[in-house]
Chains A and B, each alone.
Chain A
Amino acid sequence: MDLSLSTRTVTGVGGDRTVVEVGGEIDVYTAPKLREQLVELVNDGSYHLVVDMEGVDFLDSTGLGVLVGGLKRVRAHEGSLRLVCNQERILKIFRITGLTKVFPIHTSVDEAVNAVD
């Protein structure tokens, strides 16, 4: 399965949040598309991102690298990057790599868009 991406703006308690809904497989082949999308959003001035990973079937370290890259970009603008994920097999990869300490991971888009630091 290929990667699918769609974005929408949701207004949370802390302001507007751009929700990136990701579906399919994020691997060495498809990760560049996700990277392009995140870079484009930041270049367009969206610094508060929520990446919804509920539709992701597969994630590898290439995908993690892209998410970390996205986090660095938004942080350079005092922004945020939050993840939405409830899938154990995906969460496991974040735990193995220690990235659960780096990304705020939420159980729903609603929770993520309304989260404030």
Chain B
Amino acid sequence: MATVELRFSAQPEHVRTARLVAAAVARRAGVNEAVLDEVRLAVGEACSRAVGLHRSNGVTTPIRVVLTEEEKAFSIEVGDEVPGAGVAAADAVGVPGARSAAPAEDFDDADGEDEMGLAVIRGLVDDVEVSAGADGGTIRMSWPTSPADILS
């Protein structure tokens, strides 16, 4: 069962809220302080991407963020409801070196932000899965926790 579940309408201003909540829950779960910046950035990237997908596809349902404290890990799932959106993403993430092959100058304001967001997530998080389904895509990320840190 999720420790904390968050749903927010696909508006850019709510992404910051998702970052703050995710970082707070991750800290409580025992994620190392040094890694919290990465959690914040990764969840922000995943949510920004979901917001962009919903808006560009005219999807009015909320973005879903599920934060789960597991025995030795803390996981975050960010789900969009754009069918098939994760497929391209899974391809992009699944090809090692694809990012470095594309010149960074190719990214302009709007173009390629999605890809750059995924590149950031991929670069930050060791354990990340991007999946797609008929109901939408999910980015699942997890970080190890150290219970001893909670007491200190």
Q: A residues engaging B (CB < 8 A)?
A: 25, 27-29, 35, 58, 60-62, 64-66, 68-69, 71-72, 89, 93, 96-99, 101-102
A28 near B15: Cβ-Cβ < 8 Å? yes
Give the dominant DSSP class at B's interface.
helix
Q: B71 on the interface (CB 8 Å rule)?
A: no
Q: Which of B10-53 contact A (CB under 8 A)?
A: 12-13, 15-16, 19, 37, 40-41, 44-45, 47-48, 51-52
Collect the chain B residues with CB atoms within 8 Å of residue A64's CB.
107, 116
A62 near B113: Cβ-Cβ < 8 Å? yes
A68 near B105: Cβ-Cβ < 8 Å? yes
A65 near B112: Cβ-Cβ < 8 Å? yes
Collect the chain A residues with CB atoms within 8 Å of residue B124's CB.
96
- Looking across the interface, which residue of chain A has its beta carbon closest to that of B37? A89
Known A-B contacts A96-B120, A102-B104; the reply to A60 vs B16 at CB < 8 A is no
**How many B residues touch A, CB cutoff 8 Å?**
30
Give the dominant DSSP class at A's interface.
helix
Q: B residues engaging A (CB < 8 A)?
A: 12-13, 15-16, 19, 37, 40-41, 44-45, 47-48, 51-52, 99-100, 104-105, 107-110, 112-113, 116-117, 119-120, 123-124
Docked Cα-Cα span, A62 to B48, in Å, equals 8
